Amino acid sequence: MSSHEFEEFGQQIADAAEAYLLGVQAVSRDEEPGSVVPLLLLEVSQLLLAGARLGAQLDFQPETEYQPDVGPDADLDAMRLRLAVILGDLDTYAHNFEPYDPETLTSNLSDDLTSIATDIANGLRHFRAGNVEEALWWWQYSYVASWGSLAIGVLAALHSVVAHDRLDLDLVDETDQLEAADAVLEGESL
């Protein structure tokens, strides 16, 4: 990868990280709870694309053995609490962290979304400090070690909610639908 391609790739990942952070913060303040889950599904999906791009690269190597200090972690606890409130009963979900291990764990969307944001924000601080290599190393490492699996679990849970919302039928009108189907079938057999 040339120096220009390296810088451009770093900028693209930084843009995805910033978009995720801004998007999840905005969703946590959303006044319309009906749009929260689909918007979170979109944010996590887009971030996973950036993660997959990181995972497809050869390992990035930081310049030094120890990570440079870029200041304290972002304080995202208020966002986590807002997400827990707005998600309500949907916040707790079952997650299989390791697909080759049948153990299923209980997790919270609000906790996992915030943990992902914390990892992403750390890499973004390195990037903004001008250390693209350290940022890419951190994003890649944390994607493989942590936030990638969390994001996949969150994505599955959010997708499940959207799918059930769109596909589960209300059976109140079932009688009318059956009568209409019978009428059509009787008309065809004449």
pLDDT in tens, 8-60: 999 999 999 999 999 999 999 987 777 899 999 999 999 999 999 998 877 77
Identify which of 25, 31, 157 has the alpha carbon closest to the alpha carbon of residue 91: 157
Burial of 98 (0-12, 13-18, 19+ CB in 10 A): exposed
What is the pLDDT, as a whole number, of residue 75? 81
CA distance 164 to 183: 30
C-alpha of 72 from chain center: 23
Please give the helix or strand (H or E) that residue 93 lies within, else none: strand 92-95
Domain boundaries, the chain: 3-189
pLDDT band, residue 182 (cuts 50/70/90) = low
Instruction: Look up residue 170 and give its amino acid.
Output: D
Mean pLDDT of 102-111: 92
pTM above 0.75, yes or no: yes
What is the pLDDT, as a whole number, of residue 171? 47
Q: Which fold has domain 3-189?
A: Four Helix Bundle (Hemerythrin (Met), subunit A) (1.20.120)
Beta bridge partners of 107: 93
List the structure tokens of 79.
């966002």
Q: Measure Cα distances from 28 to 75, 89, 112, 161 in Å.
A: 14, 15, 14, 17
What is the pLDDT, as a whole number, of residue 30? 86
DSSP string, 117-147: HHHHHHHHHHHHTT-HHHHHHHHHHHIIIII
Identify which of 158, 121, 127, 124 has the alpha carbon closest to the alpha carbon of residue 44: 158
pLDDT averaged over every residue in the chain: 85
Q: What angle do CA 155, 87, 54 make, to 5 degrees?
A: 25
